[in-house]
Structure 1
Amino acid sequence: MANAINSVLPISKRIVVVDSYSTDKTVDIAKSLGADILQNPFENQAKQFIYALNTLDIKTTWIMRLDADEIISKNAAKEIEELCLTNINTDINGIVVRFEVNFLGRKLRHGGIYPFRKMIIYKKNKGYMEDREMDEHIVLSEGKSVELKHDSFHRDYKDLNAWIDKHNKYSSREVEDYFTCADKSENDIKLNKSAKIKRYIKLKIYYKLPLGTRAHLYYIYRYYFKLGFLDGKEGKIFAFMQAYWYRFLVDAKILEKRNSINERKI
Structure 2
Amino acid sequence: MSNSITVVILTFNEEKHITRCIQNLKKVAERIIIVDSFSTDRTVEIAKLLGVEVFQRAWPNNHSDQFNWALDNCNITTTWTMRMDCDEYLLDELINEINEKIPKAKPETGGYIIKRRVIFMDKWMRYGGFYPHRLLRIWRTGTAKLEERAMDEHVVLEKGETESLEYDMVDHNLNDLTWWTHKQNNYASREVKDLLDIEQRTVSSNNVDVSLTGEQASRKRWIKEKVYSKIPLFMRPFFYFIYRYFFLFGFLDGGAGLVWHFLQGFWYRFLVDAKMYEFKRNNRLRQG
Q: TM-score category by the smaller chain? A: over 0.9
1:258 equivalent in alignment to 2:280: yes
- Using the TM superposition, name which of 214-223 and 119-128 deviates more: 119-128
TM-score by length of 1: 0.94
Q: Structure 1 pair 112/186, CA: closer, same or farther in 2 (3 Å)?
A: farther
Residue equivalent to 1:209: 231
CA distance in 1, matches of 2:203, 2:108: 26
Residue equivalent to 2:46: 29
Deviation of the 1:48 alpha carbon = 1.6
CA distance in 2, matches of 1:16, 1:185: 29
Secondary structure, counterpart of 2:136 in structure 1: strand
Paired AA for residue 27 in structure 2: P
Within 5 A, what are the aligned runs for 1:1-266?
1-42=18-59, 43-87=61-105, 90-182=107-199, 183=201, 189-191=207-209, 193-266=215-288
Q: In the alignment, is the contact (CA less than 8 A) between 1:141 and 1:190 conserved in 2?
A: no
Secondary structure, counterpart of 1:93 in structure 2: strand
Paired AA for residue 165 in structure 1: H
Give the RMSD, CA atoms, in angstroms: 1.7
Deviation of the 1:188 alpha carbon = 7.9
Paired AA for residue 240 in structure 1: F
Identify the structure with the greater helix proportion. Answer: 1
Secondary structure, counterpart of 2:26 in structure 1: helix
Q: What CA deviation, in whole Å up to 9, does each residue of 1:164-204 have, x standing for no partner?
A: 00000000111112222443578884457111111111111
Q: In the alignment, is the contact (CA less than 8 A) between 2:148 and 2:204 conserved in 1?
A: no
CA distance in 2, matches of 1:59, 1:244: 43
Moved over 6 A (4+): 185-188
CA distance in 2, matches of 1:3, 1:244: 31
Deviation of the 1:264 alpha carbon = 2.2
CA distance in 2, matches of 1:36, 1:260: 45
CA distance in 2, matches of 1:181, 1:48: 22
For structure 1, the residue ranges without an aligned partner over 5 or more in a row are none
Percent identity, aligned pairs only? 38
Secondary structure, counterpart of 2:85 in structure 1: coil
Q: In the alignment, is the contact (CA less than 8 A) between 1:16 and 1:37 conserved in 2?
A: yes
TM-score by length of 2: 0.87
Deviation of the 1:220 alpha carbon = 0.4
Count of aligned positions: 265
Q: What CA deviation, in whole Å up to 9, does each residue of 1:41-99 have, x standing for no partner?
A: 12222122111112111111110110011101121122123332122x52211111111
Q: What CA deviation, in whole Å up to 9, does each residue of 1:85-134 have, x standing for no partner?
A: 122x5221111111121111111111111122211111112211112111
For structure 2, the residue ranges without an aligned partner over 5 or more in a row are 1-17
CA distance in 1, matches of 2:83, 2:238: 33
Deviation of the 1:244 alpha carbon = 2.7
CA distance in 2, matches of 1:201, 1:135: 13
Q: Structure 1 pair 190/177, CA: closer, same or farther in 2 (3 Å)?
A: closer
